[in-house]
Amino acid sequence: MAAGTVERASKVQDPNLTYMSSAEANGVAYLVAMHGHFHYNGPQPPPRHHREKLRAIPVMELIINEDGLVASKAWMPKVPVPLSHLGPVTRLR
């Protein structure tokens, strides 16, 4: 976990981010990266093969805003940018 502004946390989570409203950009945010076997249950395109199974995704990142609400979620094969680019990293257990 690392703390910083919403704008910086969003850029660390998605380096290709191109828009952020200035009203929320300066708020406090926590970026949490979790490693495990995550399964996405939301909407998705139909599988191409009738026996194709959803594979576990090894990394899930959350941006938690200063109100304690999840502002953003991302499922990915690896952490794209080290959390240290946001600030000091704290290991949570």
What are the sequence ranges of the domains in the chain?
A: 2-85
Q: Give pLDDT tens digits for 46-71.
A: 766 655 566 789 999 999 988 999 98
> What is the helix (H) or strand (E) element at residue 10, kind and residue range?
helix 6-13
pLDDT beneath 70, residues of the chain? 19-23, 47-54
Distance between CA atoms of 36 and 12, rounded to whole angstroms?
20
Burial per residue of 38-69, b for 16 or more beta-carbon CB atoms within 10 angstroms, e otherwise: eeeeeeeeeeeeeeeeeeeeebbbbbbbeeee
